[in-house]
Amino acid sequence: MAGTTFRIETQAGSRIIDLSRGLEMLQEGMARMRAPVPAPNMFELPVAPITAPTAEALAPPRRSAATLAQSAPDELMKYINAVKTLKQQKRPGSSVSIYDEFVAIHLGVVGLARSQSALNKAFNLTGVSGLATGPQAGRDGAHGGPAFLPWHRQYLADFEAALQTVDPTVRLSYWDWNDRTGTRALLTDALMGGDGNWDAASGASPVDRGHFTVADFPVAPELHYFTVDRNNPFLGADNYGTSLQRNILPRNLVGFDENQLAGSSDIARLTAKTVYGEDNVNPAISTTGFRQELEGGFRLHGWGHTWVGGSMLTMASPNDPMFFLHHANIDRLWAEWQLARRQEWETANPGGTYDYALHYYQNPAQTDPIPGHEVDHLMWPWDGGASSPATYTPGATFPTSGHPHPDLAGITLTAQQARNLYDFLFGPFAWPISFDPLPIIREVHVRDVLDPYGAGAYYDTIAPVS
């Protein structure tokens, strides 16, 4: 990783150190509340049945937000109003909104990677409390691995179910990046809002018009940390505060350029993939699979976050309601790809029974199993409480000395450097300590959400099973 060798000034003088290995390991997967309103308990929602429902049972499908913006904006307003209601509602006994708990869950699954074993591998840092524990500790459960798509599919299903406690007619819609005209109609003050108001002096770009201003949609500051410089941990983390941030490409200008989004050639490159990927038995496909291309390929998942910018560039990206439309499109592309592979298989195997699990990441020998990512693994937070993510406590710190990592051995950090290092590693990547612990949620395995129909991943571009 370029840019991670630098000079650090300590009480004993200056020294050149290189923390690239540790940063690479800990950056895997990257690429205020209002008065309480009674709400149903989202954590008691049933697990979706794994079946192939009829067209009637699936109706209506998830539709294109870009199309709705032009032809049926009232349907999008149902989503916007439900989102804003979840921002005000709190489940019984909770001190934070239902919407903010979803944001915290996204931080929490990243915070699983902040375990003592992970810190030992990366920095050999010791003397910090609140680390991740349980069978999934040591690895981001939702990013940089095969469960990226299954995890987010279940996450979307739970979020949609929460929206439907507000308005049963609401369905998630998806942001079709390739619909340029529709994207421009979608990102208006009347609907999902446009660019933020960039301030050259502070670098902030708060959304100050539309439905998601700080007055109508305040962000919980505990969920709004970002690293000052991802390559220099001693600069720590900063906080965007209570205003949703957007700085849409091209940066720091009035307006945006939707033509920088993924086009048909990018989608064709993705759908041409014939395997899901990460097959430890055949390492040759480990960098050419569908999952890797969709998560990290040019102008796809990561690029959508980058294009919107601001809050969407942090691991608390669900602070922006565009996150759910963005990830619904990612899930749609996966569902279409899955069904195309199924059709190919059934054509070659007439009368056979298709098993989605056999076309997921294959690791039959469980060689170096990835916690939370194998087909029979439970996914956090749907693991019955078996694992707990790391928590972030503002003001906490690492010891200033005694670290055995070769690049830190013998160095005595200043108090500010030790605190900044802690903030860098935990502030933007862990469950806020001020939030209530997440209740135990029913169990969901990776294999439970591989069938797109059974997991509720039904879109208007997909025909129901006959």
3-state secondary structure of 133: strand
Q: 47-75, pLDDT tens digit by residue?
A: 433 344 455 455 689 999 999 999 999 99
**pLDDT for residue 50:** 36
Quick: pLDDT tens for 82-129: 999 999 999 888 889 999 999 999 999 999 999 988 777 666 566 678
Is it the case that residue 185 has pLDDT exceeding 50? yes
Buried b / exposed e across 339-352, counting CB within 10 Å, b at 16+?
bebbeeeeeeeeee
Per-residue pLDDT reduced to its tens digit, 327-377: 999 999 999 999 999 999 999 999 999 999 999 987 766 667 889 999 999
Sign, CA torsion 28/31/32/34: negative
Banded pLDDT at 426 (limits 50, 70, 90): very high
Q: Which of 1-15, 121-135, 266-280, 436-450 has the lowest mean pLDDT?
A: 1-15
Bin 375: left if φ > 0, else alpha if -120 < ψ < 50, else beta: alpha
Q: Where are the beta strands (DSSP E) in 143-236?
A: 225-227
pLDDT the model gives residue 10: 55
Residue 420 has pLDDT above 70, yes or no: yes
What's the pLDDT band for 287 if we cut at 50, 70, 90? low
What's the average model confidence in pLDDT over 135-160? 95
427 pLDDT more than 80: yes
Q: With bands split at pLDDT 50, 70 and 90, how would you rate the model's confidence at 444?
A: very high
pLDDT of residue 398: 82
Confirm whether pTM is higher than 0.95. no
- Range of weakest confidence among 167-176, 179-188, 253-262, 301-310: 253-262
Residue 190: CB atoms within 10 A of its CB come to 15
Give me the mean pLDDT over the 156-172 stretch. Answer: 95
Specify the pLDDT at position 40: 44
The size of the chain, in residues, is 466
Domain 60-449 fold is di-copper center containing domain from catechol oxidase (1.10.1280)
C-alpha to C-alpha distance for 87 and 439, rounded to whole angstroms: 19
* Runs of H (alpha helix) within 135-213: 148-166, 180-186
What digits encode the pLDDT tens for the residues 224-236? 999 999 888 889 9
Split at pLDDT 50, 70, 90, the class of 37 is: very low
Q: What is the mean pLDDT of the chain?
A: 85
| Residue 31 CA: distances (Å) to CA of 21, 144, 155, 257, 424 | 16, 9, 19, 21, 17
Tokens of 306: 């980058």
- How large is the average pLDDT for residues 12-19? 56
- Highest mean pLDDT: which range of 249-253, 278-282, 326-330: 326-330
Domain boundaries, the chain: 60-449
Q: Is the pLDDT of residue 8 over 50?
A: yes
Please report the pLDDT score of residue 79 as a whole number. 98
